[in-house]
Amino acid sequence: MMNYRILGKTGFKVSEVSLGTWQLGSKWGDPFNKEVAFKTLEAACEQGINLFDTADIYQDGLSEKTIGEFLKGRSERIYVVTKCGRGLNPHIAEGYNAENIRRFVFNSLKNMQRDCLDMVLLHCPPSEVYSKQEVFDTLDALKREGHILNYGVSVERIDEALQALKYDISAIEVIFNMFRLRPADELFDKAKAQNVGIIVRVPLASGLLTGKFTLETTFGKNDHRSYNRNGEAFDKGETFSGVDYATGVKAAQVLKERLKTDNLALSALRYILMYDAVSTVIPGASSPEQIAANAAASALPAFTDEEMKVVREVYDEYIKDQVDKLW
């Protein structure tokens, strides 16, 4: 049974557990499979999921195109959050200008065969972009013109999120999980006070919080869990939430034991939903089975005070010194 929350000032009533589509239609690094993608989206709808999070660069535009095609055949209201900016090469602040932002938005509209985007987020832009009034003026103009209903930011760092709150944003997408607790301490209350929705990404720390990985687990060479462990390709925090792999494996095992759970992934998703500032959490899924497993978190009983304390203790003991001040 899926529960729903309001996504900040958008007024959208969205599923607590939604779908991130970075890996839609494939496993990380594998070729795109449209049939698998459609089945995954179908499975999401069957679970009551009504928000898909995508980006113009995911699968080189195939994620947006497939979602657009899929939605043509649906009668229910499904919200799509897309992101723009990471297609810039080089990815520098100067590239975030009125001309490019307009181009990105119109490309996404074309990809998804839509007249108006529900929500567009700046896709983890360089920090300087949060001081560029032109960027947010352009988004305001696109909103007035009816090309987008809402806009927001996807951030790497807490200070960027706090800067973004100066503008008329509707949502912030941020990494938050049992291995990244700082947003709950420094961001959530401020966002809630301004009625800005929180979309949580990387909720399972790239799979570490499934508790299924060991020191012997291997990942494909095109999987960011192989090639981006130290931030070689993009921000290190996106891979394993910035946690050293061996430390993460150990901490996940400790969490499993202290929380007395056989399904750490579900517990990790439910933990995120304990925070009422969170509008939705967007785990990815490469198969319909994963969707059903993730969606079940919405119906789980709340954490006890003792369980909440366990998460904080494990974080303080194993993780905090590695990540807390970096993001």
Per-residue pLDDT band for 311 (boundaries 50, 70, 90) equals very high
Strand 151-154 relative to strand 197-201: parallel, antiparallel, unpaired?
unpaired
Per-residue pLDDT band for 224 (boundaries 50, 70, 90) equals confident
Strand ranges (E), 67-112: 79-84
The pLDDT value recorded for residue 287 is: 79
Q: Which of 80-94, 182-196, 222-236, 293-307 shows the lowest mean pLDDT across its residues?
A: 222-236
How many Cβ atoms from other residues are within 10 Å of residue 207's Cβ?
19
Over residues 169-194, the mean pLDDT reads 98
> pLDDT per residue over 75-100, tens digit each?
999 999 999 999 999 999 999 999 99
Over residues 163-180, the mean pLDDT reads 98
In the predicted structure, residue 220 carries a pLDDT above the cut 90: no
> pLDDT per residue over 243-291, tens digit each?
999 999 999 999 999 999 999 999 999 999 999 999 999 999 877 888 9
CATH homologous superfamily, domain 4-205+264-300: NADP-dependent oxidoreductase domain (3.20.20.100)
Domain boundaries, given as residue ranges, for the chain: 4-205+264-300
Burial class (CB in 10 A: 0-12, 13-18, 19+), 317: exposed
Integer Cα distance of 228 and 225 in angstroms: 6
In the predicted structure, residue 230 carries a pLDDT above the cut 70: yes
Query: Which is more confident, 51 or 288?
Result: 51
Could you tell me which of 159, 158, 154 has the C-alpha nearest to residue 171? 154
Per-residue pLDDT band for 11 (boundaries 50, 70, 90) equals very high
The pLDDT value recorded for residue 319 is: 96
Strand 79-84 relative to strand 151-154: parallel, antiparallel, unpaired?
unpaired
Q: Which of 34-43, 109-118, 214-223, 302-311 shows the lowest mean pLDDT across its residues?
A: 214-223
Q: What is the dihedral of CA 162, 164, 167, 168, to 10 degrees?
A: -100
Inter-CA distances, 199 with 97, 187, 254, 279, Å: 25, 12, 27, 6
The pLDDT value recorded for residue 138 is: 98
Integer Cα distance of 81 and 100 in angstroms: 19
> pLDDT per residue over 132-171, tens digit each?
999 999 999 999 999 999 999 999 999 999 999 999 999 9
The pLDDT value recorded for residue 223 is: 82
Integer Cα distance of 76 and 294 in angstroms: 21
In the predicted structure, residue 27 carries a pLDDT above the cut 80: no
Q: pTM, whole model, 2 decimals?
A: 0.96
The pLDDT value recorded for residue 236 is: 84
Task: Name residues whose C-beta falls within 8 Å of residue 240's C-beta, 6 or more positions apart in sequence.
Answer: 205, 206, 208, 225, 229, 248
Integer Cα distance of 151 and 136 in angstroms: 9
Residues comprising the chain, all counted: 327
Strand ranges (E), the chain: 4-6, 13-15, 19-20, 51-53, 79-84, 119-123, 151-154, 171-175, 197-201, 278-281
Per-residue pLDDT band for 227 (boundaries 50, 70, 90) equals confident
Could you tell me which of 140, 85, 123, 74 has the C-alpha nearest to residue 107? 85
Over residues 194-205, the mean pLDDT reads 97
Per-residue pLDDT band for 103 (boundaries 50, 70, 90) equals very high
The pLDDT value recorded for residue 28 is: 66
Output the average pLDDT for the chain: 95
In the predicted structure, residue 218 carries a pLDDT above the cut 90: no
Integer Cα distance of 133 and 151 in angstroms: 14
Per-residue pLDDT band for 9 (boundaries 50, 70, 90) equals very high
Per-residue pLDDT band for 238 (boundaries 50, 70, 90) equals confident
Integer Cα distance of 40 and 15 in angstroms: 16
> pLDDT per residue over 288-306, tens digit each?
888 999 999 999 999 999 9
